[in-house]
Amino acid sequence: MRIHFKTSYDHDIRLFPDWWSFSIYAALVIVAVILPWLLGDFFLGEVTNVLIWAIAGLGLMLLTGQTGQASLGHAAFLAVGCYSCIILMEHGWPFLLAFPAAGIITGLFGTLFAIPAVRLHGIYLAIATIALSVLADDIIVLLDPWTDGVSGKFAPVIDIFGLEIERWSTPARFYWLVLAVTILCTLAYRNLLRAPLGRAFAAVRDSEVSATAMGVHIALTKAAAFGLSCAITGLAGALMGFFAGAFNNETFSITISINLLMMIVIGGLGSIHGAFFGAIVIAFLPQVLSMVTDTLGGGIAIPGLEMGVFGAILILFILFEPMGIYGRWLKIRTWLELFPFARKDMFRRQKSYLKTERLR
Amino acid sequence: MSLLEIDRATLKFGGVTAVNDLSFSVEEGEVYAIVGPNGAGKSTVFNLISRFYEPYSGRISFAGENLLDRRADAVADLGIARTFQNIELFDHATVLQNLLVGRHRHRRTSMIEELLFTPRVRREERRHREVVEEVIDFLDLQPYRDKMIAGLPYGVRKVVELGRALASGPRLLLLDEPASGLSVEETQDMRWWIDDIRKQMGVTVLMVEHDMGLVAGVSDRVLALADGAKLAEGTPVEVQSDPAVIAAYLGAPADGGVA
Ligand SMILES: Nc1ncnc2c1ncn2[C@@H]1O[C@H](COP(=O)(O)OP(=O)(O)OP(=O)(O)O)[C@@H](O)[C@H]1O
Ligand SMILES: [Mg+2]
């Protein structure tokens, strides 16, 4: 059992609470960096895929987990990021400019969408965002001159100061690129959490009334959440485009939006870890399923199996572990740290008071 | 000039007149209590000051400035902080984070700076935390500092809500039933805190409270409200012995009555 002695205010402000956790994350980063020498190309590709999903998950987590605004439209923002990055590169922009520009453009789209969306709550917001997901497909087709509609686009080779990066020919370089973006996005997210804006997000999520009384401008805060969330999602979308190599109007379907939302719920809403845990499940579940059906069913494909299993897992989590995999992990860790003093009902919540809706 | 002036404010909800042509003013440095039976309109007065509701008619001013010109989220900037009758905390955040949200009106850094966590952000954070730690010490919240609100007992939540309001460094503190649901000991603590908040921190307090022991103990002046209108105003003793007040309470026996 570790005991924290806090000796200065910096303790809670620091990125890592103590040497122990710093060492763990440092070790994790080192392993991640040398991974290309440890894994074959196939598995490296899988890990790259997990990281890209994790970035997208961080984006949605910021909006849904942190600010409490559900979105079933984030596939549309993946598409905006993907198309804007690649169209800019086709116009001669270098990747190092086109990529952040894609994030900014997607962020602006998100902020624009926030103008009507900040008035909507809960299920109404979810419905509006579904509309966005559905519309995205049609808009990509309508914008054929730029997007090449149904026939789609191919991702160009990335060139960073003469260094060529491509998913198939240089999988390790592509992986490192994705890893770098992942680390930067995670750091930015973490910084936000220890700063006023991140706390304002949580305040808006938990009680708009008292957030307002504390001086938080609800609409601006939500718009900032939409903007930041979509910017990160846009970066993930661009990386997805490079990872897939080719994409068209059907690539960023509503299924992707649903998967993303499921991912962060399963991983654990409101935590950075949750985005990563969820990404691992979402990225590896199809593989595991196909292995299982291969060995059991002799290669017979069962339609809708993947969605069915995702749905079942989601329902089980909502019923039994609403805090997601991260919540379960926290409980196991606490149990181990306290061993043998853990009590069975330690995590049972206090019955809380009645909360009225009178002030809404 | 008084710190807070309510001038002939009226608010209707459909057919119900929740606040009826009500005028009163709160002086800088005093503890002013509002009492009255259930549904008298006490919380509605708070919500008018917080700008959650738009008055039907009348004026509200704070330190000479017209409060009605401000949006609800700009009220905190003037140094008005409040608690809620039904406790409105950020349930999925820790006590420390809740109190830090109280500092939001002092935010000076931009989104970009915060994403990069520049030295300026760090400096500001340190300053916020100094204030918040003082509040935690003052309210004896150390044991709960890093606990999630969702798991805390009711009495502690009440104190955290008071702490969040104090963390904002208010000039005027609005407390909606600070002692409701508290044990005798907790009520006693609350009484001392309110005394200290006024005397040591120089904060003006406007509170709604049913516990007449607490009201008589801490407040300088009391306003008795019934059906949204003023029944009586004066020292605790004057108001408690006012025939109109006694009649109003006897007419509403469901309420605890005047002790
Ligand atoms: N949002 C609202 N919509 C409609 N009616 C309301 C609303 N808020 C309050 N009221 C009504 O206004 C009247 C005053 O309510 P208020 O909450 O101010 O009473 P109170 O004095 O705080 O009572 P209590 O002691 O029960 O807290 C009540 O009749 C109440 O039903
Ligand atoms: Mg009330």
A329 or B124: whose pLDDT is higher? B124
Domain that includes residue A32, residue range: 6-36
Computed over every residue of chain A, the mean pLDDT equals 87
Average pLDDT on A129-134 reads 90
- Is pLDDT above 80 for B232? yes
Question: How far apart are alpha carbons A21 and A11 in whole angstroms?
Answer: 13
pLDDT at A118: 87
Check residues A96 and B258 and name the one with the higher pLDDT.
A96
Would the pTM of this model clear 0.95, i.e. be above it?
Answer: no
Residue A353: inside a domain, yes or no?
A: no
B36 within ligand 1 shell (Cβ under 6 A): yes
The SS3 of residue B189 is helix
Q: Are residues A31 and A98 in the same domain?
A: no
User: Is the Cβ atom of A351 under 6 angstroms away from ligand 1?
Assistant: no
| Alpha-carbon distances of A329 from A323, A333, A357, B171, rounded to whole Å | 10, 6, 33, 44
A19 has pLDDT over 50:
yes
Q: Is B256 in the pocket of ligand 1 (CB under 6 A)?
A: no
Interface contact flag, B129 A12, Cβ < 8 Å: yes
Are A106 and A10 contained in the same domain? no
Query: What is the H or E stretch that residue B193 is in?
Result: helix B184-199
Taking CA atoms only, the protein residue closest to ligand 1 atom 30 is B39
Residues A184, A190: Cα–Cα separation, whole Å: 10
Domain shared by A16 and A130, yes or no: no
Q: CB burial class (10 A; 0-12, 13-18, 19+) of residue A112? A: middle
Distances (CA, A) of A263 to A62, A76, A151, A214, B101: 13, 17, 29, 33, 29
Tally Cβ neighbours within 10 Å of residue B171: 17
Q: What's the whole-number average pLDDT of chain B?
A: 93
Confirm whether A296 is domain-assigned.
Answer: yes
CA A59 to chain centre: 5
Dihedral pair phi/psi, residue B174, rounded to 5°: -105, 120
A352 pLDDT band, cuts 50/70/90, is very low
Q: How confident is the model at residue A323 (pLDDT cuts 50, 70, 90)?
A: confident
Residue A360 pLDDT class (50, 70, 90 cuts): very low
Percent of chain B whose predicted confidence (pLDDT) is above 90: 90
Question: Is 90 exceeded by the pLDDT of residue A10?
Answer: no
User: Ligand 1: which of B44, B87, B211 to mutate, judged by most atoms within 8 Å of the beta carbon?
Assistant: B44
pLDDT at B249 over 50: yes
Residues A115, A15, single domain; the answer is no
Answer yes or no: do A196 and B107 touch at CB < 8 A.
yes
Structural domains of chain B in order of their starting residue, each with its CATH number: 27-55+65-79+170-259 (3.40.50.300), 89-167 (no CATH)
Look at A9 and B150 and tell me if their CB atoms are within 8 Å: no
The gap between the terminal CA atoms of chain B, to the nearest Å, is 34
One DSSP character per residue, B230-248 reads EEEEESHHHHHT-HHHHHH
Q: CA neighbours within 13 Å on the CB side: how many for A344?
A: 0
Residue A355 belongs to some domain of the structure: no
What value does the mean pLDDT take over residues B171-192? 95
A126-140, A306-320, B56-70: segment of lowest average pLDDT? A306-320
Q: Which atom of ligand 1 is nearest to the CA of B228?
A: 14
pLDDT (0 to 100) of residue A355: 43
Least confident of A48-52, A140-144, B129-133: A140-144
Per-residue confidence (pLDDT) for residue A356, from 0 to 100: 42
**Which helix (H) or strand (E) covers residue A358, if one does?**
none
Shared-domain flag, residues A16 and A62: no
CA angle A301, A307, A310 (to 5 degrees): 120
Residue A123's pLDDT is what? 84
- Does residue A294 sit in the same domain as residue A182? yes
Q: Same domain for A17 and A58?
A: no
Q: Which residue has the tokens 């379960």?
A: A328
Percent of the residues in chain A that have a pLDDT greater than 90, as a whole number: 58
Residue A57 lies in a domain: yes
Q: Which residue shows structure tokens 């991640």?
A: A32
Q: What is the CATH number of the domain that holds A267?
A: 1.10.3470
Q: How many residues does chain A have?
A: 360
Task: Tell me: do A26 and A46 sit in the same domain.
Answer: no
**Do the domain assignments include residue A354?**
no
Distance CA B113, CA A162 (A): 32
Token digits of residue A161? 């100061």
Average pLDDT, stretch A285-291? 82
> Does the beta-carbon distance from A202 to B97 stay under 8 Å?
yes
Q: Are residues A135 and A281 in the same domain?
A: yes
pLDDT for A235 equals 98
Whether A154 and A19 share a structural domain? no
Partnered with residue B10 across adjacent β-strands are: B57
pLDDT tens track for B75-111 = 999 999 999 999 999 999 999 999 999 999 999 999 9
pLDDT band of A342, cuts 50, 70, 90: low
Residue in A188, A216, A356 nearest the CB of B104: A216
User: What is the C-alpha separation between A14 and A352, in angstroms, rounded?
Assistant: 32
Are residues A24 and A151 both part of a single domain? no
| pLDDT single digits (tens) A192-207 | 999 999 999 999 999 9
Nearest Cα residue to B86 out of A356, A211, A203: A356
Residue given tokens 């509002």 in the structure block:
B34
Please answer yes or no on whether B77 and A213 come within 8 Å at the CB atom. no
Chain B contacts of A211, Cβ < 8 Å? 90, 101
Structure confidence at residue A144 (pLDDT)? 84
How much is the average pLDDT of B12-32? 95
Q: What is the pLDDT of residue A340?
A: 67
Residues A339 and A225 in one domain: yes
Residue A352 lies in a domain: no
Q: What's the pLDDT at A298? A: 62
Q: What is the pLDDT of residues A57-100, one digit of tens each?
A: 999 999 999 999 989 999 999 999 999 999 999 999 999 999 99
Token couple for A81:
């990021």
CA of B39 to the centre of ligand 1 (A): 5
In 3D space, the residue among A2, A6, A34 whose CA is nearest the CA of residue A20 turns out to be A2
Q: Which residue has the tokens 């939500």?
A: A222
- Could you tell me if the ipTM is greater than 0.90? yes
Is A299 contained in some domain?
yes
* Number of domains present in the structure of chain A: 2
Query: How far is the centre of ligand 1, averaged over its atoms, from the C-alpha of B233 (Å)?
Result: 21
What is the full DSSP assignment across A191-256? HHHTSHHHHHHHHHHH-HHHHHHTT--HHHHHHHHHHHHHHHHHHHHHHHHHHHSEE-TTTT-HHH
In a domain, A97, yes or no: yes
Please tell me the number of Cα atoms within 13 Å of B43 on its side-chain side: 14
